[in-house]
Amino acid sequence: MEYGYIRVSSADQNEDRQLLALRGKSVPNSRIFMDKQSGKDFDRPEYKRLVRRLRQGDLLYLPSIDRLGRNYREIQEQWRLLTQEKGVDVCVLDMPLLDTRQGRDLMGTFIADLVLQILSFVAQNERENIRRRQAEGIAAAKARGVKFGRPPVPLPDNFREVHKAWRDKKITLRQAANACGMPEGTFYAKAVKLEKPIK
């Protein structure tokens, strides 16, 4: 049996290119498994379902090695699980050297293992670079004064008056929060912030 596996990092990414590549190998839709989530680990429902279905002698097509994952160690573990434990052939479409049907002799296996190590290292390295670039971009934006998250909601007009009544013990915390139309925890947090001296 021939199977295909597709992964896109988020629900809004398009999987058409990967689907076309698999259909070009005549893999039927019923045997194409797709996850829409990050490649950081293998806790993916469709991938797990695929692995349960695979039997010795089956062939699994992957559009590229980074569709399998982006964690160097885990890619190698999954490759070993698929090819050695389950006895499945794997063909990575954009890397002909990663086709376990070819070069089954010692040299072919050595070359495939070497290419897999290099590519899985590159996949993880790219993931780490993406994370570093994101962190640098956020830091640069913060340095420019860009604010992240929702803008703070302004205090209700009666907040200071209610706050004073609460601090003077004329009303309870619950009554104060209700008077300002907010949860007790929110009222208390805003009250504490209001009372902090400005440095």
Which are the catalytic amino acids?
A: 9
Tell me if 176 sits within 8 A of 166, measured CB to CB.
yes
Length of the chain: 199
Cα 34 to Cα 22, 48, 58, 89: the distances in Å are: 12, 11, 18, 19
Helix/strand/coil (H/E/C) assignment for every residue in 16-58? HHHHHHHHCCCCCHHHEEEEECCCCCCCCHHHHHHHHHCCCCC
d(CA 5, CA 108) in angstroms, rounded, equals 24
Q: How far apart are CA 40 and CA 82, in angstroms?
A: 18
Cα–Cα distance, 174 to 164 (Å, whole number): 14
